[in-house]
Amino acid sequence: KMTTDNHLRHVESLPVFPSGAGNIPRLNAVILGEALASEENDYVFPSDDFSRNAHVSSPSQYLEMYKRSVEDPAGFWSEIASEFYWEKKWGDKVCSENLDVGKGAVNIEWFKGGITNICYNCLDRNVEIGNGDKVALYWEGNDLGSDDSLTYSQLLEKVCQLANYLKDVGVKKGDAVIIYLPMLMELPIAMLACARIGAIHSVVFAGFSSESLAQRIVDCKPKVVLTCNAVKRGAKVIGLKDIVDAGLAESTKNGVSVDVCLTYENQTALKRENTKWTQGRDIWWQDVVPKYPSTCDVEWVDAEDPLFLLYTSGSTGKPKGVLHTTGGYMVYTATTFKYAFDYKPSDIYWCTADCGWITGHSYVTYGPLLNGASCIVFEGAPTYPDASRCWDIVDKYKVSIFYTAPTLVRSLMREGTQHVTRYSRKSLRVLGSVGEPINPSAWRWFFNVVGDSRCPISDTWWQTETGGFMITPLPGAWAQKPGSATYPFFGVQPVIVDEKGNELEGECSGYLCVKHSWPSAFRTLFGDHERYETTYFKPFPGYYFTGDGCSRDKDGYYWLTGRVDDVINVSGHRIGTAEVESALVSHPQCAEAAVVGVEHEVKGQGIYAFVTLVEGVPYSEDLRKSLVMAVRTQIGAFATPDKIHWAPGLPKTRSGKIMRRILRKIASRQLDELGDISTLAEPAVVDQLIALADK
């Protein structure tokens, strides 16, 4: 029996709630953090009013649409795709795919032969349909009182000027462009300008170190790097241009040099006269870009032409260049945005993610703009100048959809409700969560305190690789359960398998896979199709393997339980343990390192590193600091280890494999759950490690 049917059966058998089973009395019983007999049975209902006005108002309406989407994906998606502008319609096949490595190369194509441009659909189309004077981007700076905005027409002009500049310096269709910018409006402008001329953007989160940047430059060989001189984050000024300079020097050493570094002068952070400059290579954005014409012809591209590359962490050291193409990504991000947030044209939308991550690609830039939304770009830190900044912004712009990460919810929760309740927040309508599982107590705080028990929470499960939401509530359609991402989005067929790859039925837990492709699935890993197949399609032949564990409850709700591979999730940032290990062992006094994730109250997971020093080197506080520094300079501050645990040796099997299972138990001090250690090459190391745990 196929799991899809299974899933449908579950939805069909969803308890039918009497209309008017409003959430208030029920939620009064669900007091903040109170342990419930069973999380699973804790339903939270949308109000009748919300449901009535929602795009999808009931389980049965969802069911009908979901059924159609999996039974006739071509019909379902081509109807939606027809709402976009296509210079030429796609060929006969809406989708062709092979996910089965046994049947040849893995291949996914959607709308092949269709000719379009996503920038045109984000901007020109909106201007044409009368949204020209609507605000596309509100910009809120790091410092209170610094702000700006651009209407759709103004944004289009800015994008065209930059696109013309890029063409002028020789960027052509298919060329890569690296963008290393903080959350200025220039960041989405840069992405859209690349898309307009068919260039492939690769945004590198501006928290990555020069070495990480260099690694990405060497991999994708960009024609141009776009950056700014510095940025203020909270009270700190970060010299981004210095990082870029070092990154470019490093990549040149590795045989890849970049001719043009277009640098935005971010005056509030650093004046141009104080910026280090390489004549000939570095160009001030403000000196050249505004001189270019504010219209620019669109480069029409095939639906399957690449749109962007985004590097992400995997279980081995080298970051993976996740490649997304144009047509399917466009259709899917726009559609998921509309339904999962129940988006209406009057909404003001704020997603706190940085465009350096996939969330900022799909749900700061493309998804919202494709829907003609007004969207906030926030430069600063959400707790600066204090823990009420988010609600200050919500009230200032009358934000109606607020999308963030559980780590922020948990950190604000610790600061106390008074920071929230002194703001009105009455504009809020829908809340969203992404990046890691949201624990039920954080969910409730978000729901009760931030949303005044009025706003449904869309807990969206997805990944860099999936491009868009995969399992997500549709907020008006059904009851939510705190901590569950609920049901699959249209067209998505999740399956839970056991370690042998057998599909499990009904209530179960196992590995989360996806059967069949969906429009915004990534098409390859840049330059390494083999690794794409090995990592994602070989573990469970015929399926896309997500790397996540998952369970399904008796009502068919999905509960994501976290990564099952060597990837850890720190504050919603994905970090490969192997990357941290390789940064540590690059330190001359480190002989060996093993990194595991441990539960962390605010960050979700913390980074816990076991370090073996070179023979004869003594432990010291300074050495600990310099090991931490090695990770910060090689990856970035967000990957700072929380704990360095001195390890005279590591628990290994006789064949030399590090037993991470044991390290995880030691790291989380579950010392009575170490399991069988007799198969270790040297069982005594376990006691040595335990003895050094708090040293």
| Stretch touching ligand PRX by CB under 6 A, among 97-105, 137-145, 414-422, 545-553 | 545-553
- Min dist CB 483 to ligand PRX, Å, is 9
Among 175, 548, 555, 566, binds ligand PRX (CB under 6 A): 548
CB nearer to ligand PRX: pick between 90 and 205? 205
Measure the CA–CA gap between 556 and 559, rounded to whole angstroms: 10
| E strand or H helix at 260 | strand 260-264
CB nearer to ligand PRX: pick between 137 and 560? 560
Q: Which two tokens stand for residue 346?
A: 């009057």
Q: Verify binding: residue 324, ligand PRX, rule CB under 6 A.
A: no
DSSP conformation class of 34: P
Buried b (16+ CB within 10 A) or exposed e, 327-337: bbbbbbbbbbb
- Min dist CB 320 to ligand PRX, Å, is 10
In the shown chain, the binding pattern of residues 592 to 631 toward ligand PRX, with x for contact by CB under 6 A and - for none, equals ----------------------------------------
In the shown chain, the binding pattern of residues 190 to 229 toward ligand PRX, with x for contact by CB under 6 A and - for none, equals ----------------------------------------
Cβ(133)–Cβ(185) below 8 Å: no
Cβ(194)–Cβ(166) below 8 Å: yes
Looking at 287, 565, 687, 694, which residue is catalytic? 565
Among 560, 570, 667, 685, binds ligand PRX (CB under 6 A): 560
CB nearer to ligand PRX: pick between 118 and 514? 514
Among 126, 209, 212, 312, binds ligand PRX (CB under 6 A): 312
CB atoms within 10 A of CB 81: 25
- Min dist CB 344 to ligand PRX, Å, is 23
CB nearer to ligand PRX: pick between 295 and 534? 534
CB nearer to ligand PRX: pick between 374 and 433? 433
- Min dist CB 528 to ligand PRX, Å, is 17
In the shown chain, the binding pattern of residues 627 to 666 toward ligand PRX, with x for contact by CB under 6 A and - for none, equals ----------------------------------------
CB nearer to ligand PRX: pick between 198 and 356? 356
Total residues contacting ligand PRX by CB under 6 A comes to: 23
> Dihedral sign, CA of 265, 271, 277, 279?
positive
CB nearer to ligand PRX: pick between 125 and 574? 574
Q: Verify binding: residue 552, ligand PRX, rule CB under 6 A.
A: no
Position closest to ligand PRX via CB? 464
Q: Verify binding: residue 485, ligand PRX, rule CB under 6 A.
A: yes
Write out the binding residues for ligand PRX, residues 23-52 only, by CB under 6 A.
Answer: none
CB nearer to ligand PRX: pick between 78 and 460? 460
Whole-angstrom distance between the N-terminal and C-terminal Cα of the chain?
54
- Min dist CB 335 to ligand PRX, Å, is 16
Give yes or no: 565 in active site: yes
CB nearer to ligand PRX: pick between 367 and 437? 437
Measure the CA–CA gap between 633 and 640, rounded to whole angstroms: 10
DSSP conformation class of 317: S
- Min dist CB 6 to ligand PRX, Å, is 21
Q: Where are the beta strands (DSSP E) in 292-393?
A: 301-302, 306-312, 320-325, 348-351, 374-378
- Min dist CB 604 to ligand PRX, Å, is 9
Measure the CA–CA gap between 17 and 46, rounded to whole angstroms: 11
Cβ(201)–Cβ(194) below 8 Å: yes
In the shown chain, the binding pattern of residues 561 to 580 toward ligand PRX, with x for contact by CB under 6 A and - for none, equals -xx-----x----x------
Q: Where are the beta strands (DSSP E) in 87-230?
A: 95-98, 107-110, 115-116, 135-140, 147-151, 176-180, 200-203, 224-228
In the shown chain, the binding pattern of residues 350 to 379 toward ligand PRX, with x for contact by CB under 6 A and - for none, equals --------xx--------------------
Identity of the amino acid at 381: A
Measure the CA–CA gap between 248 and 256, rounded to whole angstroms: 8
Give 411-443 as a DSSP string: HHHHH-THHHHTS--TT--EEEEESSPPPHHHH
In the shown chain, the binding pattern of residues 427 to 466 toward ligand PRX, with x for contact by CB under 6 A and - for none, equals ------xxxxx---------------------xxxxxx--
Measure the CA–CA gap between 618 and 633, rounded to whole angstroms: 23
Helix (H, G, I), strand (E, B) or coil at 200: strand
> Dihedral sign, CA of 429, 435, 439, 442?
negative
* Pairs from 165-172 (Cβ < 8 Å, separation ≥ 24): 165/262, 165/288, 165/289, 165/292, 166/193, 166/194, 166/197, 166/199, 166/224, 167/197, 167/296, 168/292, 169/223, 169/224, 169/259, 169/260, 170/223, 171/197, 171/199, 171/223, 171/224, 172/197, 172/198, 172/199
Among 314, 547, 606, 651, binds ligand PRX (CB under 6 A): 547
Question: Which amino acids are annotated catalytic?
Answer: 565
The residues binding ligand PRX (CB under 6 A) are 312, 358-359, 433-437, 459-464, 485, 546-548, 560, 562-563, 569, 574
